[in-house]
């Protein structure tokens, strides 16, 4: 244990957990005390790679840390998170926060009652492509997102809505400040027991609409989101780390690095002329996982609100669950039609 640093442990060192270990070793104000995994062989393999300690039980890990990073299957999030909070540990927990909304609410309430920090790993909030242009996203009226991935057995313990689409649900809810009014969704299970591809349309009370597609059986990867708002269109490529912004501006602006202006109305006075200004943004000097874990560490040291709160994560989970309910309802309708 080191004073003046956050002594943090990692539970679950599979594919993603290994990256947590790697990044925590590089964060100045974090002291990685060690790891625990039900797979002892895997725990020792990762610990040896990054020169850290292996605890042979979760209880021993808890006794030697004051914060915990939970990177286990979703079905176990609630169990580990609740026990950590009851032992007065701050927790960073990978998305989705828990398997059910009820579990999520219980975790959030417990963290608040014990005045403990709870941050959820909605990592796309910290994607360089989004951070580069988020200042331009003001009042989106239509959002379209595609998150496509090739098949990987890892993550198929939950439906694609909870595995992949929840990233985009969280982002959309963070930008559209209005309750969801209507959800229509459909999905298909092709390889795994749960839906492998899904599409949903979210309609908000303020009139905004989001069309969201997620697949884990695509032949190529894609992680894109497009924002349409008054006088502007933005395209964010999470995979490539680049963004494009098209803005309607008055007058003919001069060309700048990374910017081009296309006149669209040359009639009338010069002051009334309009142009479309194109700008391309790229910010690749940021590691999203390192950044979000660093923010978690700082929220503990400075007693600040975590970057992605438990309440925000539960909100995204609640909508994801409603999407799954809509998918099931749609599937029942299709089945009845086929039975006829």
**Predicted TM-score (pTM) of this structure:** 0.90
Choices 3.30.565.10, 1.10.287.130, 3.40.50.720, 3.30.300.30: CATH for 6-123+288-308:
3.40.50.720
CATH 3.40.50.720 intervals, the chain? 6-123+288-308
CATH 3.30.360.10 intervals, the chain? 126-285+322-327
Q: What is the DSSP letter of 309?
A: B
Task: Check residue 190 and give its pLDDT.
Answer: 87
Tokens 């098209």 — which residue?
246
Task: Check residue 79 and give its pLDDT.
Answer: 98
Dihedral sign for Cα 41, 47, 48, 52, please: negative
Give pLDDT tens digits for 173-193: 999 999 999 999 999 988 888
Sheet holding 142-148, edge to edge: 180-188, 197-204, 209-215, 142-148, 222-229, 232-237, 242-250, 274-282, 259-265
Task: Check residue 274 and give its pLDDT.
Answer: 75
pLDDT < 50 positions in the chain: 340
Task: Check residue 104 and give its pLDDT.
Answer: 98
Looking at domain 126-285+322-327, what is its CATH homologous superfamily? Dihydrodipicolinate Reductase; domain 2 (3.30.360.10)
Distance of CA 202 to CAs 41, 141, 180, Å? 44, 11, 7
For residues 234 and 177, the answer to whether their CB atoms sit within 8 Å is no
């Amino acid at each position: 244990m080191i004073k003046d640093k956050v002594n943090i442990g990692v539970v679950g060192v599979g594919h993603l957990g290994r990256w947590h270990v790697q990044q925590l070793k590089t964060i100045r104000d974090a002291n990685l005390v060690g790891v625990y995994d039900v797979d002892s062989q895997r725990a020792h393999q990762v610990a040896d790679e990054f020169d850290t300690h292996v605890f042979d039980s979760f209880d021993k890990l808890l006794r030697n840390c004051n914060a915990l990073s939970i990177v286990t299957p979703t079905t176990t999030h609630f169990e580990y998170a609740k026990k950590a909070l009851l032992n007065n540990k701050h927790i960073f927990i990978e998305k989705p926060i828990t398997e059910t909304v009820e579990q999520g609410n219980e975790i959030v309430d417990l963290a608040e009652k014990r005045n403990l920090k709870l941050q959820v790993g909605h990592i796309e909030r910290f994607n360089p492509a989004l951070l580069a242009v988020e200042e331009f996203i003001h009042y989106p009226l239509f959002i379209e997102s595609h998150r496509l991935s090739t098949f990987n057995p890892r993550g198929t313990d939950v439906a694609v809505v909870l595995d992949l689409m929840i990233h985009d649900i969280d982002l959309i809810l963070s930008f559209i400040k209005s309750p969801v009014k209507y959800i229509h969704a459909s999905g298909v299970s092709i390889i795994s027991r749960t839906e492998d591809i899904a599409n949903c349309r979210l309609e908000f009370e303020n009139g905004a609409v989001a069309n969201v597609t997620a697949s884990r059986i695509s032949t190529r990867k894609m992680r894109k989101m497009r924002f349409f708002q008054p006088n502007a269109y933005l395209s964010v490529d999470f995979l490539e780390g680049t963004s494009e912004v098209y803005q309607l501006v008055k007058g003919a602006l001069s060309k700048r690095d990374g910017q081009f202006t296309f006149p669209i109305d040359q009639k009338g006075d010069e002051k009334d002329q309009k142009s479309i200004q194109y700008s391309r943004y790229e910010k690749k000097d940021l590691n999203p996982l390192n950044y979000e874990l660093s923010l978690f560490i700082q929220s503990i040291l400075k007693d600040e609100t975590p970057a992605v709160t438990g309440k925000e994560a539960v909100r995204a989970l609640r909508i994801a669950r409603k999407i799954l309910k809509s998918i099931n309802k749609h599937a029942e309708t299709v089945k009845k039609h086929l039975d006829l």
